[in-house]
Structure 1
Amino acid sequence: MLHQLRKLFEQIGAGESVEVRPEKDVRMISAALMAEIATADQKVDERERSALVRLLRDHYQLDETTAEDMVERALSERDEATSLYEFTQTVNDNFSERDKYLLVKQMWMVAFADGEIDAFEEHLIRRVAELIYLPHGLFTRARAEARDESQLGAD
């Protein structure tokens, strides 16, 4: 997936004529980053997959089928990923601080979906937050809110 995104941005940088729908690109970047969290512990729990679909559906106001397709694509293409930097650079170029906060919160929500935070999941979320320059206070707030919301959903 990173390879495809890199190719798209190379085309744009070279001034080539490409049809770009930034909203779609941003949604796929969000899906890809959340898919990285879902697979950080080398397994995709059904609760994490369901959280991915729900978060994309609700945040981007997608229908269920579109959200499921995006998740499937993000999960199946993650092996093509070469670097977080490519995703996070696009996030930095296109997301406001609020959008960055919401993305990190959503990543935490995926991580909390299976009831446990794996060390790899935490490390990856922390790394993304650093690369998108999310202030530490917002990072910890996103984690706390995601934890609280996941506990409410479990009740």
Structure 2
Amino acid sequence: MDSTLAVRPAAAADRERVVRLLGDSWGGTTVVVHGRAYDAAELPALVAERAGALAGLLTYEITDAGLEIVTLDAVHRRGGVGGALLDAAVAVARGVGASRVWLVTTNDNLDALRFYQRRGLRIVAVAPGAVDAARVRKPSIPLVGEYGIPLHDELTLELPI
């Protein structure tokens, strides 16, 4: 069995797997962040596969502000999938001449904060109460997040490129 990890742009044939992974990770395809609701299934995406199976997904948007990572999910953590997807997103950003890769995570997401900071991203902004505001648009956002931490704030991280 081939355990090689391959990352590539998502294709139309990946849609069902993408929607299922987003549903499992995000409770649906709607992601509300920095006051905006995204349908992550409609965004450009990178998929990671191992032996033909979906190992991870990164959705993004490119604007004048750079390449924004909207979602990043590894089916199994600590297997190199997230790092490979992040590297591929940086390559996409460089390819389009973006000045940075950036994302927003929440105050409870300690594992993500560790992951991103170890890869050179820095916290550049904190939006107190932003998750509380997002909960109005997406009531399924829990009140308590990972590690039993009350979920209230958004943190923006960036990697200048």
TM-score band, normalised by shorter chain = 0.3 to 0.5
| Higher share of residues assigned strand | 2
| Higher share of residues assigned helix | 1
Which structure has more relative contact order (CA 8 Å, sep 6+)? It is: 1
TM-score (norm 1): 0.39
